[in-house]
Amino acid sequence: MKIKEIIVVEGKEDTRRLKEVFPYIETIETRGSAIDERTIQLIREARNKRGVIIFTDPDYQGEKIRSVINKRVPGCQNAYIKKEKAIDVKKNKVGVEHCFREDIISSLSSITKIREEPCDVEYEDLFDLNLIGKANSQAIRDYLSEHLHLGYNNGKQFYNKVKLFNIKKGTLEKLVREYKKSVVNEDE
């Protein structure tokens, strides 16, 4: 797998780990959540020249960084990794630098991109689809998030990402039906 885009990561250990998997990869490091204007401009230039993939840690700080970049630099692609695949149990830390090679490759193969056209999903639709407000809503959101490559989400985060990536209501309905079928099959 060859990656032409520049990968935005949080720090030098993320860069080190990605270079172990993809020796010729180029990264931009945010150096934390207080992203300065120089870094934003660097990301903007990279997006214009080669494209950008945001690949931050699957934690609060990583999502905050991702959100800032997506708002300030529209048109970036996003790669997510599950939190349980990014944990160093010995150090009790979460981060891209702790991921296995195959998980990094899988994450960077499943890119989501922000689309500019309007989304047809309303917040009330999440109630109708049992994505919020029910005992099993988190399990359904987890299933959809995994299939849509959106990372972990609570109800509000899920809605915001559905809007951000312009995921169609029909897609959500189809995945909810698939989830319900899979649960029925497990119970048999």
CA–CA distance, 83 with 106 (Å, rounded to integer):
14
CA–CA distance, 110 with 114 (Å, rounded to integer):
14
CA–CA distance, 80 with 95 (Å, rounded to integer):
11
Domain final residue, candidates 114, 145, 168: 114
CA angle 62, 67, 69 (to 5 degrees): 95
Question: Is 95 found in the same domain as 140?
Answer: no
Indicate the pLDDT class of residue 81, thresholds 50, 70 and 90.
confident
Domain final residue, candidates 62, 96, 114: 114
Domain count of the chain?
2
Q: What is the CATH number of the domain that holds 100?
A: 3.40.50.140
pLDDT above 60: residue 186:
yes
* Mean pLDDT computed over 7-15: 93
Report pLDDT digits (tens) over 92-141: 788 888 888 898 888 888 887 766 677 899 999 999 999 999 999 999 99
Question: Is 6 found in the same domain as 97?
Answer: yes
Domain final residue, candidates 114, 129, 144: 114
pLDDT above 70: residue 163:
yes
Domain that holds residue 156: 117-188
Tell me the pLDDT of the chain averaged across its residues: 88
Percent of the chain surpassing pLDDT 90: 54
CA–CA distance, 161 with 119 (Å, rounded to integer):
11
pLDDT of amino acid 158: 92
Give the amino acid at 179. Answer: Y
